[in-house]
Structures are given as C-alpha cells and as structure tokens.
Amino acid sequence: MDIRFQTGGPSRWKADVVITFVFEGEGVEEACPVLSQSALWLGIAPAWRDFRGHRDELVMFYGPQAMEISRVLGAGLGRVDKADLTVFRHAVGRAVRLCREYDLATVGLDGASLARVAERMGVALETLTREAVISAFLALYRYERWKSEKSRHDDPRWLALMLEGEFVEDGVRAAARMAEAEAAGIMLARDAANDPANVMTPSAFAEKAREVAVKYGMTLRVLGPSDLESEGMNAYLAVARGSAEEPRMAVVEYVPRGAEGRDPVVLVGKGLCFDSGGISLKPAKGMEEMKGDMSGAAAVLGVMEALGRLAPSCAPKRPVVGIMACAENMPGGHATRPGDIVVAKNGKSVEIVNTDAEGRLVLADALCWAQNVYVPFRLIDIATLTGACAVALGMDAAGLFSSDDALAALLHEAGMNLGERNWRLPLWTDAGLASLKSACADMVNSGRREGGAINAAVFLQQFVKEDVRWAHIDMAAADNAENPINAKGATGFGVRTMLSAVWEDEGDILQ
Ligand code: BES
Ligand code: MN
Ligand code: ZN
C-alpha cells in the first residue's frame, strides 16, 4: 500500500472511500463539516440515524455512485474524555480492514477530521497522522506464507491523506514517512518471529540481517561457533551446544553521515530461534510459541530496517549498532546439563541449574562483547526473558529495568506514547543476587520463582559495567497479540521504543 497526499480541500479529493472519525453523540455537521461540503449527500445519509459514534463502531455511508466521493466510512471513537491513542489506532485498524474486506482499492483519510480529533484529544496533528498511518499498515499485516489458499482480498492500492490546504506541510509529510518506515520495521520483525523455527534458524536470521545491511549500506559482522569460542563467549555457547543448528551472532552497524566517531547507541536482542528449554525441557503445551523466542532480535533488526528506510532524512546523530544473539536451545547429546558450570566472557562463572533460563546466558556474553567492542552511549537489551514478567504485568506490557532514571523515563514515556507499555520494575540487586547464590560458582543462572523477572535482570546486570547507561526490556508477555492492528501472532513490540532511544539525543526526544 502506497501513502499519498491529496490537497486542495474536499472538492479535489477522490477515492473509493474516505474514512472519517466520529465521537460519541456527534452528528454529521459536528463530525465532518468539511467533508460534507463536497459530499453533499453525506448530510442526509440515512445511516446517520443509527450511528452513535461508539468506540469500535463502524458505519458505511453511501452516496450516488457517480460522485467523486461516494462512500464515507465513519469510525466511532467513543467519548472524547475516554478516547486515547490506543482507541484511535484500533479505530483506524478496524476501518482499513473493512475497506480491504470490501475490496476498496483506494482509501482516503479525512484530514479535516484528523485535525479535529487531534485538537479534541490534545495531541499534535503530526502525532495523530503518524499513528493513523502506522495503524493502517499494521492492521493490514497478515502472515500467509504457508497458506495454500491466500486471502481473496487484496490490500488497498493506496491510502491518501486528504488535506484542506494547497500544500502538504513538512511535518505531516515527515510523520507519514516515519510511520511508513516504522511499520516496515515492525512488519519485518513480525515476519521473522512468525516464521517457524525450521525456517528461521540462527543462520537464516543472520542472512536476513545481511539483507538489511546490504540494502542500506550498513556493515555486517556475523560470529559463528568458532568466533564465539575465541571470544570466550562460553555462556552463549553452552546454550547452543544441544542443537544441530549453529549459533550466529549478527551485528549490524549503521553510521549516519556526521556521526562518525561518536559513541553509538547499542541494541542487543535475544534471538532464541527456538527454546525447547533444553535438558530442563518445557512442557509440551504451548511449546510451539517458543519459535518466537527471537522476538527481541527481530525487533532490533526491525529498528535497523526502519533506520535504513528513513536515511538520510531522519538520520540519528549517533551510530546505531544492532546485535542479534541467535541460537537454538535444544536437548541434544551435547546439550548443557543442569549443574554444568561455564565461565562467561567477563570471567564470571555460572552454574547452569536450569537450562531453560538460557536467554540470560546468551545475553550475558552478547552484552560483554558489546562493551568490549564499543563504548555505548546507551546500551539497551530486549528479550522474551521470563514468564514471571507476564505474571507481574499481564499480557500487554514489558518489564523495564534500569538503574539510570533518565533512560528508564525515556523508554517508559516513549513507549507509552507509541503503544508499547514499558513498565518499570525494580532492579533490586541485593535481593536478586541473594537469590542467585551458587555453592560452587559465582552465581546460578536461575534463582527463585518469586521476583523471577527481577532476578533475571539482576543476572544480566552482572555483565554490564557500572558506568554504562544500560536498560533491559523483558518483552516475554508482549511478543504476541491479537487486536485490530495485530493479526494473531507476533507483535514487533520494541521497534518503536528503541527507535525513540536512537533518535533521542541528550534530552530532547526527536519524535
Ligand atoms: N523464553 C522463555 C520465557 C518466555 C516464556 C517467553 C513464555 C515467552 C513466553 C525463557 O527462556 C524461559 O524459559 N524462562 C524461564 C526462566 C526460569 C527457568 C527461571 C521461565 O520464565 O519460566
Ligand atoms: Mn527458556
Ligand atoms: Zn527463552
């Protein structure tokens, strides 16, 4: 689907359908005075009689077929005082899905309506435009790769922002372009996480990273088993050993013009292409979901994709390094046994008491490597790390851990604005360490069940140098969803939050 702009007001707009937004209790003259100037029939459309503007409500209004605008799709937003950006995103999602179901090839978004909604909701028009465009893309995303019978309905050919003025304002155009790039990154992440583990192996993931790097002229480094070994990444290797699939750590480096030599933002993603639990085997029920245990790495690659698409117009002021630590956790003959002890890259020894607590082992070495090779301006890891995080926060949120208040605030606020709930949890080092005590090594890899997400975060902290600004995002609960902008399956969670952390530079968020 292309993004287009139509200018000059409603008399010049033309599309198979125009989407307009309606708050609860509004009539046509209140909701869309501008649109109805051109689509005069709209003012007397009979369907208004039953349209209440409730949240989730959709009504199609039909005018004479010969008109330039002969269909208007009203999307209800509910009460103004209750409407937030999530309500808005879902309204857009439902509306464009209906357009696709009706095989409408060209879709307009009533710009006057967007401006009014922005004003009434107290958000900038650029923000609402960005959310509208990204929601349209995300709603239409579907994963049909393996279906021999594809959907009978094609996506709309284009979505046009229909503007009242003669020109497209720079801010609005930039917002739409940014949304398009973000959506591309998210959809790439969703595809990677939805792909089954027999296809999206660590090597296949590294190839995907190569494609992104080549497409945008970024540099790529891939570390295989022998590289990991010579780098002393024994905790990482301990996880991969039980699998016939070799591990791959893919590193994509993007240095925007003018950012050479500056300290980079470093992103590290957990890339467990499949997590069977290893010898500490998981129960059969739901194990298939562990094909998505590389969602962190997928989100990191999604960030690189979005950055590549936006370059050079919206280049960050610093280099960005995406590290994707891929492996498969399997109970093969060479698999790590509970009780095995390994020495991680920073020299700390770990007694692996539970081979299902593998993500932290992989990340521990990846984090060490990141700090050896780079001097991170900020270091952010993202991982489907603990079921305990889902127990703590529910299914639509990620745990956010950082001892840096400013970085935690940045990630929390950016995420909340962008539809990614990053909720700060405490990094209680003393409690975590107490729970990770080992009789024979520096620590065990799995502590008490109580505070499981915190214990995991404290484990990772043992591999981060004290002066490094680091944050950890546990997205175990947020990796899957089903809602109007998310076809059942992977979410691509984290892409938008991390992009904010890349663009934000010393204080001001460059959204
Ligand atoms: N990948 C899982 C965590 C997970 C669970 C992600 C459910 C998404 C949905 C992780 O590797 C894991 O197995 N964690 C264990 C840790 C425990 C052994 C300390 C868990 O959460 O049970
Ligand atoms: Mn596990
Ligand atoms: Zn895992």
Mean local confidence (pLDDT), 16-20: 98
**Residues 247, 197 share a domain:** yes
Residue 129 has pLDDT above 50, yes or no: yes
* The pLDDT value given to residue 510: 40
* Residue 496 to residue 420: CA distance in whole angstroms: 8
* The pLDDT value given to residue 455: 98
* Residue 350 to residue 445: CA distance in whole angstroms: 6
Largest interatomic CA distance in the chain:
81
**332-349 residue pLDDT tens:** 999 999 999 999 999 999
Which residue owns the Cα nearest ligand 1 atom 13?
356
Is 116 a catalytic site residue? no
The ligand that comes nearest to the alpha carbon of residue 273 is: 3
Ligand 1 atom closest to the Cα of residue 386 is: 21
Residue 508 has pLDDT above 50, yes or no: no
**Residues 50, 185 share a domain:** no
- More confident call, 222 vs 314: 222
CA of 117 to the centre of ligand 2 (A): 44
**Residues 113, 23 share a domain:** yes
Cβ(132)–Cβ(118) below 8 Å: no
* The pLDDT value given to residue 314: 86
**372-426 residue pLDDT tens:** 999 999 999 999 999 999 999 999 999 999 999 999 999 999 999 999 999 999 9
Mean local confidence (pLDDT), 217-233: 98
The answer to whether residue 507 is domain-embedded is no
Question: CATH number for the domain including 475?
Answer: 3.40.630.10
Q: How big is the chain by its Cα radius of gyration, in Å? A: 24
**Which residues line ligand 1 at a C-beta cut-off of 6 Å?**
275, 293, 354, 356-359, 384-388, 446, 452, 476
- Per annotation, catalytic residue among 4, 282, 424, 465: 282
**149-195 residue pLDDT tens:** 999 999 999 999 999 999 999 999 999 999 999 999 999 999 999 99
CA of 439 to the centre of ligand 1 (A): 24
**Residues 378, 266 share a domain:** yes
Taking the CB of residue 49, how many other CB atoms lie within 10 A of it? Answer: 6
Structure tokens belonging to residue 12: 């010049």
* Residue 36 to residue 198: CA distance in whole angstroms: 54
* The pLDDT value given to residue 125: 98
Structure tokens belonging to residue 233: 């990444």
Mean local confidence (pLDDT), 267-283: 98
Domain count along the chain: 2
- The residue segments making up the domain with residue 415 are 179-501
Residue 504 has pLDDT above 90, yes or no: no
Handedness of CA 311, 315, 320, 323 (dihedral sign): negative
Single out the residue of 26, 78, 21, 18 nearest to residue 48, CA to CA: 26
Is 360 a catalytic site residue? yes
**Residues 259, 131 share a domain:** no
Choose one of 274, 288, 293, 360 to mutate for the ligand 1 pocket test, by most ligand atoms within 8 angstroms of C-beta: 293
Choose one of 288, 295, 385, 395 to mutate for the ligand 1 pocket test, by most ligand atoms within 8 angstroms of C-beta: 385
* The pLDDT value given to residue 64: 95
Query: Above pLDDT 90, what percent of the chain?
Result: 97
The answer to whether residue 510 is domain-embedded is no
**226-263 residue pLDDT tens:** 999 999 999 999 999 999 999 999 999 999 999 999 99
* Residue 179 to residue 318: CA distance in whole angstroms: 21
Mean local confidence (pLDDT), 268-294: 98
When pLDDT is cut at 50, 70 and 90, the band that residue 506 belongs to is low
**Residues 188, 155 share a domain:** no
- Per annotation, catalytic residue among 55, 100, 241, 360: 360
